[in-house]
């Protein structure tokens, strides 16, 4: 039995207080033992209820402490643990790890003072049991995390395979494409994502490439046919010019050399010369007659100029064979060229007529640069002082006309360039007497 006495006071009129009496209570220790033994301690730990440290302390176990001590550490020193708990409470520490050697296994000590009677409650909790739930929770979380990571890796692998599979199929289809075979066997896919868009784009690109190659091949074939036709046209045009045999057919006193270098395969440049016999023979046995010379330049280049050049060449051959003076000949040719000239093409032309017997030469120019003449002494001069409008004009052109006498040793150079400011290739034609 333990007796507790507590005084009580009453207040006086002057606010002081005076002791009114003492209240005494007896505490039956057997009841304390029974109550402590029946108390619920929880699933882990061991506990004691201890009286204040006055004389011999009264210590009773709480709940299933006795049974748990046998399982945990039968040799555990209860008094040592109580002293450690009193030291903790004196330092106002309520929870700490017991020093090594206090118990067989590491354990925590929790201590607390009861507010009214000064009794103490102490709990010893094995470290392994206290952290078991935490470890179990950590293990459970790690297990769940590992399972989640595995599921995430599996899902990621499935998604990656779903993306990579069509990409590999596209790469394989594109890799099979060759320069001569662009039929891409792309996989049929109902996807509407980026892979589907890429597949459709490659399919359209393949179709576009095949169409482009087809059109390119067609264009090259047409270009090859056109080049072939142009080569034939160039050969025909060259055949319309005087051949080397025509120069050999001239009187021995006349030497002629000519060349044509068109800017394109066909063009509008031309020259012509031929002998017009009159049936006579001079005292030296040489044929009498006249030599017709002409050089011209059609406006523009290419096929239109070549066709206009062919028309002009035919007119020179037909109309020049009569030995008509050059100025009249150019006027007549201009009238013929002006007919049906809806394209408004024109030609600069100069022509000369040389009398072999007398050496007299007449030259007329319709917009063409006059020939240069070098005499036997090396002096160079022009046959004409100025040039006139081009031929094939609908109005009558003003044709420049000049006369001269051809003497032994004289040379002449003719160029098809119509204007000194225009840089073109030239055709040179030189006439000389021996």
Strand order, beta sheet including 411-414: 254-258, 429-433, 411-414, 372-374, 380-382
371-421: per-residue pLDDT in tens? 888 877 778 877 665 444 445 555 555 677 777 777 777 777 776 654 444
pTM of the model: 0.49
Output the average pLDDT for the chain: 80
Higher pLDDT, 325 or 266: 325
205-226: per-residue pLDDT in tens? 778 887 888 898 999 999 999 8
74-98: per-residue pLDDT in tens? 888 888 888 898 889 889 999 999 9
**What does the domain layout of the chain look like in residue ranges?**
2-130, 241-433
* Average pLDDT of span 307-319: 88
CB 38 within 8 A of CB 64: no
Half-sphere exposure of 208 (CA within 13 A, CB side): 6
Core vs surface per residue 172-192: b (16+ CB within 10 A) or e: ebeeeeeeeeeebebeeeeee
CB 260 within 8 A of CB 427: yes
Beta strands in 146-253 (DSSP E): none
Is the predicted pLDDT of residue 55 greater than 80, yes or no? no
CA 405/CA 397 separation, integer angstroms:
26
Is the predicted pLDDT of residue 428 greater than 50, yes or no? no
274-285: per-residue pLDDT in tens? 888 876 665 555
CATH fit for domain 241-433, picks 3.30.1490.190, 3.50.50.60, 3.60.40.10, 1.20.90.10: 3.60.40.10
CA 251/CA 248 separation, integer angstroms:
8
pLDDT of residue 32: 83
Is the predicted pLDDT of residue 426 greater than 50, yes or no? no
Q: Tell me how far the alpha carbon of residue 352 is from its chain's centroid.
A: 65
161-178: per-residue pLDDT in tens? 877 777 777 777 777 666
Percent with pLDDT over 70 in the chain: 85
Is the predicted pLDDT of residue 337 greater than 90, yes or no? no
Is the predicted pLDDT of residue 141 greater than 90, yes or no? yes
Q: Name the maximum alpha-carbon separation found in the chain.
A: 189
Q: Quote the DSSP letter at residue 238.
A: H
CA 155/CA 271 separation, integer angstroms:
87
pLDDT of residue 146: 95
């Amino acid at each position: 039995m333990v007796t507790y006495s507590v005084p009580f006071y009453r207040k006086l009129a002057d606010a002081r207080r005076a002791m009114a009496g003492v209240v005494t209570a007896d505490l039956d220790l057997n009841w304390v033992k029974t109550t402590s033994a029946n108390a619920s301690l929880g699933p882990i730990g061991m506990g004691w209820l201890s009286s204040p440290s006055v004389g011999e302390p009264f210590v009773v176990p709480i709940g299933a402490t006795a049974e748990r001590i046998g399982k945990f550490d039968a040799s555990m020193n209860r008094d040592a643990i109580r002293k450690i708990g009193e030291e903790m409470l004196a330092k106002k520490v309520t929870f700490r790890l017991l020093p090594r050697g206090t118990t067989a296994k590491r354990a925590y000590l929790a201590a607390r003072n009861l507010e009214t009677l000064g009794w103490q409650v102490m709990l010893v909790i094995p470290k392994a049991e206290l952290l078991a739930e935490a470890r179990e929770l950590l293990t459970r979380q790690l297990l769940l995390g590992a399972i989640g990571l595995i599921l995430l890796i599996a899902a990621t692998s499935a998604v990656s395979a779903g993306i990579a599979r069509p990409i590999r199929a596209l790469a394989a289809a594109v890799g099979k494409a060759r320069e001569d075979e662009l039929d891409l066997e792309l996989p049929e896919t109902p996807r509407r994502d980026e892979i589907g868009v890429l597949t459709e784009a490659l399919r359209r690109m393949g179709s576009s490439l095949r169409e482009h190659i087809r059109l390119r091949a067609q264009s090259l074939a047409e270009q090859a046919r056109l080049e072939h036709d142009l080569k034939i046209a160039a050969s025909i045009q060259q055949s319309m010019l005087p051949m080397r045999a025509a120069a050999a057919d001239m009187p021995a006193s006349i030497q002629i050399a000519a060349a044509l270098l068109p800017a394109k395969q066909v063009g509008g440049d031309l020259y012509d010369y031929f002998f017009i016999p009159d049936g006579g023979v001079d005292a030296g046995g040489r044929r009498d007659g006249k030599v017709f010379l002409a050089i011209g330049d059609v406006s523009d280049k290419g096929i239109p100029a070549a066709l206009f050049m062919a028309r002009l060449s035919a007119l020179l051959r037909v109309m020049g064979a009569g030995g008509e003076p050059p100025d009249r000949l150019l006027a007549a040719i201009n009238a013929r060229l002006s007919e049906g000239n809806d394209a408004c093409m024109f030609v600069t032309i100069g022509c000369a007529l040389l009398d072999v017997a007398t050496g007299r030469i007449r030259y007329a120019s319709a917009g063409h640069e006059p020939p240069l003449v070098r005499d036997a002494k090396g002096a160079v001069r022009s046959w004409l002082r100025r040039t006139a409008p081009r031929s094939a004009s609908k109005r009558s052109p003003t044709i420049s006309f000049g006369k001269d006498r051809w003497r032994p040793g004289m040379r002449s150079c003719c160029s098809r360039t119509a204007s000194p400011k225009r840089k073109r290739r030239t055709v040179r034609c030189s006439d000389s007497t021996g």
